[in-house]
Amino acid sequence: MIDTATLWDKCLDDLRYSVKDNVFTMWLRPLSAHQEAQTLIVRAPNDYFVSYIKKNHLDDIQQLIAKHSQGSIEEVIVRVDNASHSAHTDDIAIDNDAQKSDSLFGEAAFTKEGLSPTPASQIIKNGSVSTNIDANMQHAALVDAADAKSLSYLNPDFTFETFVTGKSNNLAYKACFELSKRQSKNRHNPLFIYGPSGLGKTHLMHSVASRYVKNNRSFYYFTSEKFINQLVYSLRNNKIEDFKKKIKKVDLLIVDDIHVLAGKTKSSNEFLTLFADFTSGDKQLILASDRHPSQMTEFDERFRSRFSWGLTVAVEPPEIDTRVQILQKKATSFGMVLPKECALFIAQNVVSNVRRLEGALNQVFANANLTGAPITLEMVQYALKDIVAMRVQAVNMDNIRKVVAEYYDITVKDLMGRKRTRSIARPRQVAMALSRELTGDSFPDIGQSFGGRDHTTVMHGCDKVAQLRAADPAFDKDYKVLAMMLQAG
């Protein structure tokens, strides 16, 4: 009989490929499960989670559990995990005590001196909010007295000084550095930064915010999901005007992953009112996305045109020289010495983004610390043998579908399905073209792997991608980035 942990892991693995990554991370990953007789109890952090899961995912969970348990589980129940309910409140569902505080917007207070000694009972961190009402109210009063100094988490390591520049990100760096100056005359509003995840967009935006703080100016930083969550909370509690009024007090508004707003009509419309306020006068708006505004076809034209009003800059996968510099700078910050040939080996085998590059470096350092071995090329090759092996195996149609779906913010199920909307059909054609180029599989084989399509459909898709690459430099760049990600690990 399969144990509960393995059963739940199998269910999550299946769910991962049927929903968007942000939905899986936000709603499904926090869940856990245990078995009581023939019933599986799915534990959620709070009542809001329970309601959402029942409405949107319970049917799928029940079907998957029935399949993987071979019918031994007769019922699935979703309920609040009592062990964590008193201490845990997700960003979406701020608990009743926390709602009594005006401080809804982040994890720590920043002043021009840096990170202030915020009362531990108030800090929102890692998805949890303390329920110490007095401390919350006291801190909210301090923030208001300081003219709403930025209440949003910043990574203190994300500064201009620690950012490594190269051809792939130099324009984005210069644009951010310029607008961070107190009296800059060359501001571009909004500044729109785009590119795949893990390349430094968030680093640059945190760097700008840190400079604003040093210049005694205020900011709010939101991921798009947190922004939506706060809007939902404010709308449901008739506090939307208070929410917008509080945001309008600051000098700089940053919204990361703005593409997540697509399809959320109320949230999008409320955002447009803030957009107007932060693109006029002395205020500044910075937006980030995984793609160029012109490719955000989920939005109507009024959004796409507004996103392009100011300056749009790309952050692309770093070239090998930049990757080597990133590794050596990171090693220095750890107080470690990384020989150049070792940095070059890592850079040659990890290409797709900076996060994976740093992850490989961390693996090398962990190996060195555990074994006491010096960092040599042989040691690095051994420490990263699994990464190198995965790189060799990365190019297959399953992985191509997964990478393309993540890149275009759709699901693998969408790619395999029959929908012909442009936002799905175009990524499907890209995935087919990449499969043809990188695997060498036949048109009929590719068609079968994409939901049993005819080989002529695959041929048409490949021809269409070739035409678009020749006519549209932005499209060609996206295609090349995807090919690089797939071939490099």
Q: Which CATH superfamily is domain 160-314 in?
A: P-loop containing nucleotide triphosphate hydrolases (3.40.50.300)
Average pLDDT over residues 66-91: 68
The helix, strand and coil proportions of the chain, stated in percent and rounded to the nearest 5, come to: 55, 10, 35
Q: Is the per-residue pLDDT at 235 higher than 70?
A: yes
Ordered DSSP codes for 357-390: HHHHHHHHHHHHHHH-----HHHHHHHTHHHHHH
Q: Is the per-residue pLDDT at 275 higher than 60?
A: yes
pLDDT, tens digit, 9 for 90 and up, residues 83-139: 444 333 333 332 333 333 333 333 333 333 333 332 222 222 333 333 333 333 333
What's the pLDDT band for 55 if we cut at 50, 70, 90?
A: confident
Please state whether beta strands 39-44 and 75-80 pair in parallel, antiparallel, or not at all (unpaired).
Answer: parallel
Residues 6+ positions from 51 with CB-CB distance below 8 Å: none
- What's the token pair of residue 322? 């930049």
Residues 6+ positions from 184 with CB-CB distance below 8 Å: 178
Lowest mean pLDDT of 45-49, 130-134, 348-352, name the range: 130-134
Lowest mean pLDDT of 200-209, 254-263, 304-313, 385-394, name the range: 385-394
Residues 6+ positions from 360 with CB-CB distance below 8 Å: 346, 349, 350, 384, 387
State how far the Cα of 196 lies from the Cα of 317, in Å rounded to an integer.
8
Q: Which residue has the higher pLDDT, 444 or 2?
A: 444
Q: Which residue has the higher pLDDT, 393 or 42?
A: 42
Q: What is the CATH number of domain 4-84?
A: 3.30.300.180
CATH architecture of 320-393: Orthogonal Bundle (1.10)
Q: Is the per-residue pLDDT at 463 higher than 90?
A: yes
Q: Is the per-residue pLDDT at 369 higher than 50?
A: yes
pLDDT, tens digit, 9 for 90 and up, residues 378-390: 888 888 887 776 6
Domain 397-488 is in which class? mainly alpha
Q: Please report, in angstroms and rounded to a whole number, the separation of the first and last CA atoms in the chain.
A: 36
The whole-model pTM stands at 0.53
Q: Do domains 320-393 and 397-488 have the same CATH topology?
A: no
Q: How many separate helices (H) and strands (E) can be counted in the chain?
A: 24, 10
CA 301 and chain centroid, separation: 24
So where are the chain's domains? 4-84, 96-145, 160-314, 320-393, 397-488
Q: Is the per-residue pLDDT at 267 higher than 70?
A: yes
